[in-house]
Amino acid sequence: MISIKKLHKSYQMGSNSLHVLKGINFEVEEGELVAIMGSSGSGKSTLLNILGMLDNADEGEYILDQVPIENLDETKAANYRNKFLGFVFQSFNLINYKTALENVSLPLYYQGVKRKERQEVALDYLDRVGLKPWANHLPSELSGGQKQRVAIARAMASKPKVLLADEPTGALDTKTSYEVMELIQKINEEGKTILVVTHEPDIAHMCKRIVMLKDGVIVEDKKVKQVIASADVQ
């Protein structure tokens, strides 16, 4: 599903150049649930941003679902993001003047889906994350966990190939974190490829594979026995 070869990225910080990713090689199969771990500054967010086409690599090869991702201009990147990727952010990033339903239907709007169909699909996804009764609530009326579930529904609504989650539980308490992870696991069980960036080991162990980053290189890449999140909650 994802194939990365010799990925390099550096940032210009004044006169110094900061080499963040130093040749990453990385493959993800369809249906995997991968945790990307590392301390801050290890390059894990940069990697996710490049995977999410929010940032461009300096060199290296990136193939997503057999499509080579190269020579991106903003419009092309936007279309790829819309077609291939779903994002979940640490700070939820819901649009605060839109209801849960409107937030979920937003990516479909940019896909050009008709209004009625969009609302049906969005409501269906809200239902799947258990928030159908909150469809017409504004984000300010929802709890943190509910917001993140709306964000996951929004990421899923466009039927992406890959779901990218950047510290999805970073702003949540443990109980809510596990609820969110339970949802992520459920989506993964349905066959979705998911990448989760986290620095919390317990969250990482709820994934099927852990990739450790340190100073811009992969230091460890291992399959783990998945901890089922719902079991921890009870």
Site residues for another protein per CB under 8 A: 49, 52, 54-55, 74-75, 78-79, 81-83, 87, 89, 91, 93-98, 102, 106-107, 109-111, 115, 154, 158
Residue 218 tokens, joined? 């992969």
Least CB distance from residue 106 to another protein, whole Å? 6
The least distance separating another protein from the CB of residue 91, rounded to whole angstroms, comes to: 8
Q: Which is nearer to another protein, 129 or 212 (CB)?
A: 129
Residue 146 or 185: the one with the smaller Cβ distance to another protein is 146
For the bound state, the minimum distance from the C-beta of residue 73 to another protein, rounded and expressed in Å, comes to: 9
Torsion, Cα of 211, 212, 214, 217 (10° steps): -30
Helix or strand or coil: residue 54? coil
**Smallest distance from another protein to CB 121, Å:** 14
**Single-letter amino acid, residue 188:** N
Q: What angle do CA 93, 185, 25 make, to 5 degrees?
A: 80
Toward another protein, which CB reaches closer, 110 or 220? 110
Q: Which is nearer to another protein, 107 or 209 (CB)?
A: 107
- Residues forming beta bridges with residue 221, ordered by sequence position: 211
Which residues does 40 contact at the CB level (< 8 Å), separation at least 6? 199
Q: Which residue has tokens 């699909």? A: 121
